[in-house]
A = this chain, B = another copy of it.
């Protein structure tokens, strides 16, 4: 039986978000952490970029977990704010008690984003 109508399309993103729409969705992967002073560890990671078309903002959450047990490790969340001048601002809160402001630029054809940390807030040092 044919469908009665066209498939439902997600609404178009906000015009400022459109060039960054390649980010939208849920990204998952696995990796290995290494550092000279610690035992290497394997972890899982999930990043979610979500967006409502009425706002020029992308909501961002990231979390990692131990591959062996599934127990949570680092997590962070915040907002990506593409600006009319082609730059992007990112504000993040981290589960370790840090806040961060990052700024940078993006190339929507190459699907790249370049960010630099501009400000760090540390709840433990105030």
Interface residues, chain A, with chain B CB atoms under 8 Å away: 52, 54-55, 57, 59, 61, 71-72, 75, 77-79, 81, 89-95, 97-101, 103, 118-119, 121-124, 126
Q: How far is the CB of A77 from chain B (nearest CB, A)?
A: 4
Q: Is the interface of A mostly helix, strand, loop or mixed?
A: strand
Measured between beta carbons, the chain B residues less than 8 angstroms from A94 are: 79, 91
Residue of B nearest to A73 (CB): B55
Contact A121 B91, CB 8 Å, known A77-B61, A77-B77: yes
B72 adjacent to A101 (CB under 8 Å) = no
Contact of A91 among B57, B61, B98 (CB under 8 A): B98
Alpha-carbon distance between A122 and B99 when the two chains are bound, in angstroms: 11
